[in-house]
Amino acid sequence: MDIAAWLRELGLERYNEAFQENEIDAEILPKLTSDDLKDIGITTVGHRRKLLEAIAALTGPAVAPQVEPSAPDEAVPRARPAEAERRQLTVLFCDLVGSTALAARLDPEEMRDLIRAYQNTVAGEIARFEGHVAKYMGDGVLAYFGWPRAHEDEAERAVRAGLAIAAAVPQLEGPEDATLAARVGIATGLVVVGDLIGHEEAREHAVVGETPNLAARLQAWAEPGAVVIADGTKRLLGGLFDCADLGAHDLKGFAEPVRAWQIVGAGAAESRFEALHKAGMSPLVGREHELGLLLDRWVLAKGGEGQVVLLSGEPGIGKSRITEALLERIATEPHVRLRYFCSPYHVNSALHPVIDQLERAARLKRDDPAEAQLDKLKATLREGTRTIDEAAALLAPLLSIPSSERNPLLSLGLQQQKSTTFEVLLDQLASLTKRQPVLQILEDAHWSDPTTIELFDLTVDPIQSLPVLLIITFRPGFTPPWTGYAHTTSLTLNRLGQRQVGMMIERLTGGKRLPTEVLAQILAKTDGVPL
């Protein structure tokens, strides 16, 4: 049975990754329970019911999976408790500011409706970043990032969810003379998670460790609307966010003062790779051939024979690192860089990588007046296109720059507006190549939105007669639609061999020889993945 096709038929293909990560196949599928579906991250009641009913239809009356209980006292079989495991977890704790005072003012039913709307909002933002709501405690919500599903960027996901919660709660409808606000605390650390505690409906998966307590203390310390993080979480974020140092403070239950940070906004680094490696990069090891190939394609591109390199590899294999190495090698050569970064948080945002690139190129700031933003955009467009006013009128809405007398909205249909926008962007690229060769990099194309893919479909063909090198990076599982061109090269990064891993360890330790047992463990656990 094709699980992915079955999920598509149900309109629930968004959960395919969760089923794959948890190794759910045709044999396991009939045995799934409601608790199992919750554990793999399916937090929506309607989706769980739909899946359970579909499973029942597949298996017939002989096998009856657990259905979603319709009342608290309904007797239903429970999933077998999973074994507890040691995990690094990022824990988010948030609450509604001033809920006690609100409860004193509102009718109980009004307060119930307000709490329900608040909880739904918080749960929705946590689910959007694939966290797990562990517990509701009145106006408090406890969430885990890293269990039951694990990602490579749990700390970032938690912070983005916290910022989204802080922005969304004030939009909820509250008393006329009150503005609602949430405060959020986030901490990261080792815990033991998975033991089922409690009885019947009160049962829950327990997390043992100081991390949840620290998140709760930081939340209580935060100002309304603020997201406060622990020092351990800050280290994992690198330069992804700008943070204000709140200093070290004594917190109840902690023997030593705890240092904390408040999230101020997005960091200034151009790329995620740069933000996460701001302390410096390790030496490039074992990629001489691949780097040589990229340099060869750059030489061809500079001569007017445009090239496209499709660079694939699993997470942590070094795709971003080798592109950084190329940038270092050609840093002194005249060229224009256009870098586009796809994001797992914006897969449904049309042209997000392009919008991000334009904002960085124009140095736009959200708090700039609309006229100043328009001036910056036009100054950027002046470098590459002759139809500045038309181009600005098309691109300004993409950048959320309000319309004005200087920047009127164009009366175009949606399809015509999209095709004309594509023409402007392609004209911008062609115009830039008249001054200098262009290096374009589209990173993490597996997270690109359909409109961005469509734009690059139109970009790849004309590149072959322009001084442009386009590098597109992606992970296995993504099928690039650009393989049939003569000027396209596919390059796969493989895992490093043991000798190369040994060289990397030697450089990272400054030449210090590690004990043989330690070296063997590192070789076994990293399995040739540089990250």
Q: Which of 396, 392, 395, 398 is nearest to 350 (CA)?
A: 398
Lowest mean pLDDT among 187-196, 314-323, 414-423, 454-463: 187-196
Type of residue found at 306: G
Q: Could you tell me the maximum CA-CA distance found in the chain, to the nearest angstrom?
A: 75
337-350 burial, b for 16+ CB within 10 Å, e for fewer? Answer: ebbbbbbebbeeee
- Mean residue pLDDT across the chain: 84
Tokens 């310390």 — which residue? 221
Question: CA–CA separation, 417 vs 410, rounded Å?
Answer: 8
pLDDT of residue 407: 65
Q: Taken in order 43, 46, 47, 50, is the CA torsion positive or negative?
A: positive
Q: What is the DSSP letter of 182?
A: E
Q: Per-residue pLDDT for 304 more than 90?
A: yes
Query: CA dist 498 to 211, 393, 528, Å?
Result: 36, 55, 7
pLDDT of residue 137: 87
Question: CA–CA separation, 72 vs 251, rounded Å?
Answer: 38
For 360-374, what is each residue's pLDDT tens digit?
888 888 778 888 888
Q: Per-residue pLDDT for 330 more than 90?
A: yes
For 14-28, what is each residue's pLDDT tens digit?
788 888 888 888 778
Strand 227-230 and strand 204-208: the pairing is unpaired
89-111 burial, b for 16+ CB within 10 Å, e for fewer? Answer: bbbbbbbbbbbeebbeebeeeeb
Confidence at 528, pLDDT banded by 50, 70, 90: confident
For 78-130, what is each residue's pLDDT tens digit?
333 456 778 899 999 999 998 888 888 888 888 988 999 999 999 999 999 99
Confidence at 70, pLDDT banded by 50, 70, 90: very low
pLDDT of residue 475: 93
Question: CA–CA separation, 308 vs 465, rounded Å?
Answer: 12
For 505-524, what is each residue's pLDDT tens digit?
888 887 788 888 888 888 88
Q: Which of 267, 335, 308, 277 is nearest to 471 (CA)?
A: 308
Tokens 């406890």 — which residue? 142
Lowest mean pLDDT among 40-49, 245-254, 450-459: 40-49
Q: Per-residue pLDDT for 66 more than 50?
A: no
60-80 burial, b for 16+ CB within 10 Å, e for fewer? Answer: eeeeebbebeeeeeeeeeebe
Contact 446, 477 (CB under 8 A): yes
> 448: burial class by Cβ within 10 Å (0-12, 13-18, 19+)?
buried
In 3-state terms, what secondary structure has residue 336?
Answer: strand
Question: CA–CA separation, 223 vs 229, rounded Å?
Answer: 12
User: Which two tokens mark 98?
Assistant: 């001033």
